[in-house]
A and B are shown apart, each in its own frame.
Chain A
Amino acid sequence: MLSCKQAARLMSDAHDRPLSLKERLQLHLLYCLGCRRYQRQLRFLGQLCRQIGFSHFSRDD
């Protein structure tokens, strides 16, 4: 069983590499509200960063 600490690291890694423990993470997220919030927060952080990221700036609009 994954702990929240391990799950948090995996949720971060998921932004950077393909996960091999995806299923175990999904199972943890099913019953852990804190980690589901953490996952949403990391997604939001990623979206926020993209607003000042390379793709955003190099687009011609």
Chain B
Amino acid sequence: MTPSPAPLDDRFIADIRRDMLRFAQLQLRDASLAEDAVQEALAAAFAGQQQFAGRAALKTWVFSILRNKVVDLIRQQVRTINLSALSDDDRSLDETIEALFDEGGHWQAESRPNQWGDPQSALHTQHFLQVLDICLNRLPENTARIFMMREMLELESEEICRTLAISSNLVHVTLHRARQGLRRCLESQWLSPGEVPC
């Protein structure tokens, strides 16, 4: 492999910047925070561009800088809240989840997961990403953040423990709570798509 200078042309920068903004906004849910994070990540990329052999390597690198910045910002957002104490939203989600099961821990007849048909064919549609967004917004705030750190920022659960200084059990409980909430929300949106508000 012969390293060649990374082609940081205007078109490439514009494309990558658009993707970075979209990624950062999805994770941070704050347009100006996202804008700042992208700007800083790009500045760092310009400073180091000569080390990279081509676009793909550069893009991966710029995005890992961006990911680190996003994780830092999330840590700051989460730090203000006592993660070990359940919020009212968490408690209410917990009660909803408890109520899915009978005393023996089996699914209640009416809450047993439904057959979702063939979701694979719908996987790449914009509609599903919108539904996912709506459902993420309905989760308790920190529950959604921890879930997104795991599934979208793709951190290992141990990295989440360390970053937020919480127990691995709390991370796993929270991820489970998030998944229960999300799959129930997806199921209700799936069964009655007329309710999707956009």
Residues of A within 8 A of B (CB): 3-6, 8-9, 12-13, 15-17, 33-35, 37-38, 40-42, 44-55, 57-60
Contacts and interface: CB of A to CB of B under 8 A. Distances in A.
B115 A37 contact: yes
Contacts of A53: 151-154
Nearest to A40: B116
Given A38-B113, A44-B119, A49 B151 contact: yes
Interface residues of B, number: 47
Given A4-B105, A54-B67, A45 B179 contact: yes
Contacts of A44: 116, 119-120, 123
Given A3-B104, A58-B64, 17 more contacts: A4-B105, A5-B106, A12-B180, A15-B179, A17-B172, A34-B113, A37-B112, A38-B183, A42-B183, A44-B120, A44-B123, A47-B123, A53-B153, A54-B153, A57-B20, A57-B23, A58-B60
Interface stretch (B29-37, B72-80, B88-96, B124-132): B124-132
A9 B56 CA distance: 38
A49 to B, nearest CB: 4
B7 to A, nearest CB: 11
A54 B155 CA distance: 10
Contacts of B180: 8, 12
Contacts of B129: 48, 51-52
Contact of B113 (A41, A54, A55, A59): A41
Interface of B: 19-20, 22-23, 26, 55-56, 59-60, 62-64, 67, 101, 104-107, 112-116, 119-120, 123-124, 128-129, 132, 150-154, 157, 168, 171-172, 175-176, 179-180, 182-183, 186-187
A3 B171 CA distance: 22
A52 B187 contact: no
B101 A13 contact: no
Contacts of A59: 56, 59-60
28 contacts: A4-B105, A5-B101, A9-B176, A12-B180, A15-B150, A15-B179, A16-B172, A17-B157, A40-B116, A41-B116, A41-B183, A42-B179, A44-B120, A45-B186, A46-B151, A47-B123, A48-B128, A49-B152, A51-B123, A53-B152, A53-B153, A54-B152, A54-B154, A57-B23, A58-B64, A59-B56, A59-B59, A59-B60
